[in-house]
Structure 1
Amino acid sequence: MFLYYFRVFLVVTYFLLFSVMAVIFLIFMPFKPNSSRYVMKLWRPAYFLANIRVEPINAPTRSPDKPVIYIANHQDLLDIFMLTHVWPHNTFVVGKRSIIFIPFFGIAFWLAGNIFINRSDKEGAWALMDQLAMEMHDHHKNIYILPEGTRSRGRGLLPFKKGAFATAIKAGADIVPICASSSSKIDLHNWTPAKGYIEFLPPVSSEGYTLEQAGELAEHCHHLMKNKIAELDARIDKESGKT
């Protein structure tokens, strides 16, 4: 138990340092398409502090003439460990507005060109997504969204909100699911490196879907991701001798 809390202390302390370094770095290159990708590299020492080893299975594939919406399962604060090594090029994040209040990190999030959304204001949120759809269509801007809308905290893959999928349909964008193995499989209580997997699924085209079918597109992507996450979890169980 001591080892677990010691690691948590180290990671939280480094998170504050990381956020300060990110702000300093981004002051000199704010609002650039790859700002988040560059800043993510500053997080990598946290892997050593937490003794976590995440193995990317593949890299994303996408059509060069289409914008992309990346979607991923949202579990808990360990999400950042899963994504550091595989952050896609030229991608901005759509995150909840409360992020701005996290000391230093909120400022870094803003300086990286990411987008804040107020989910409690449904009319404003849909207007923002409409604007993003136009920017994606006109400028091939890629965005990253967590379609569950909240952390699952061990409850499995939660139902998806329709916003990301309606935006993909309006923008004519592909959807690329990012599947991370369950963070409940990551054990920080012993000296053995905690292992996780992350995998990009093939692009899912939004062509042929109408806005009224955004829910169907969401359910299709949810089915694909749920099956893949189960496959990744089974792989970890097999390698650890639990099956």
Structure 2
Amino acid sequence: MLPTFLLINTIVLLVCIFRPFHRDNVYFTGQAYNKMAWLLGVDVKITTDSSVIENTPYIYIANHQNSYDVVTVCKAAKRGVITIGKKSLIWIPIFGLIYFLSGNIMINRTHRGSAQNSLGKAARRIKDKALSVWVFPEGTRSYGRGLLPFKTGAFRLALETKVPIAMVCVSNTHNKIRLNRWNNGTVSIKICAPQPIDDTKTAREWANSFHQKMKDEISQLDNEHQ
């Protein structure tokens, strides 16, 4: 798997160097990384609600499980999307440069002022370039602990920009993928209908509301695989 991963990273890096900060770099990267799914013995199936329109700004929120997300959930990234990720990603060899050149926004979660500036930058990208922003609202990988509590950044961003939120719900992959077998089953991803939010609730209240909705959707996806 390592040679394939290095080859794909090399191709993606060259594309990002040739067209740095292009609006579709994240989409291209996600499609490229997903090519490794067959090496993991995983079939990634995506169901997208018909109301999701390509190249329309949304705030995508997705559950974040483990390192395999880079091969599975990345397939769901649409054209014209950028992500918000932790600043330390820049130090990962090759991948960090790809992440930067893809136009993603890096956030320092330990510094409140820096985090606020990053959300402001995301809002400007949405308004000025009609980009979508992808956020993992748990803030970290769950590693089998279930859906962790949501942070409020994605919801504050949606309230500021008046952009709908679209949930990207991924079935459980914890202890389901093993490198020593060829068939690791199906990973189901559901991109739900975008939902506008407003000032009738606070960002925290919206975060709690979407947390329950995503938890229910993930449970339904998991039940389909039983």
Which of residues 178, 185, 203 in structure 2 aligns to 1:194? 185
Tell me which residue corresponds to 2:198: 207
Distance in 2, matches of 1:68 and 1:51, equals: 31
Residues 45, 189 of structure 2: 8 Å contact kept: yes
1:112 corresponds to which of 83, 102, 107: 102
Tell me what 1:178 maps to.
168
Percent identity, aligned pairs only, is: 31
**2:80 alignment counterpart:** 90
Partner of 1:7: none
Larger Rg: 1
Q: Which shows bigger deviation, 79-88 or 57-66?
A: 57-66
* 8 Å Cα contact 1:69/1:144 also seen in 2: yes
How far did 1:45 drift? Answer: 3.2
Structure 1 alignment gaps of length 5 or more: 1-9, 238-243
Deviations 1:32-89 (A, max 9, x none): 1111111223223311211111111225734689631101000001112222432112
Equivalent residue in structure 1 for 2:212, among 212, 223, 227: 223
Structure 1 position 126 matched with structure 2 position 155? no
Q: CA 1:126/1:209 → structure 2, altered by over 3 Å: closer, same or farther?
A: farther
Unaligned runs of 5+ in 2: none
C-alpha contact (below 8 Å) 2:40/2:182 kept by paired residues: no
SS at match of 2:67: coil
- Maintained 8 Å contact 2:49/2:192: no
Q: 1:141 Cα shift?
A: 2.0
Give me the CA root mean square deviation. 2.1
TM-score, normalised on structure 1?
A: 0.85
CA 1:55/1:14 → structure 2, altered by over 3 Å: closer, same or farther? same
1:164 corresponds, among 139, 154, 169, to: 154
More helix by share: 1
Quote the residue 2:131 is aligned against: 141
Aligned residues: 225
Relative to the length of structure 2, the TM-score reads 0.91
1:70 match: secondary structure = strand
Letter of the 1:70 partner, please give it.
Y
Equivalent residues in 2 for 1:10-49, closer than 5 Å: 10=1, 12-49=2-39
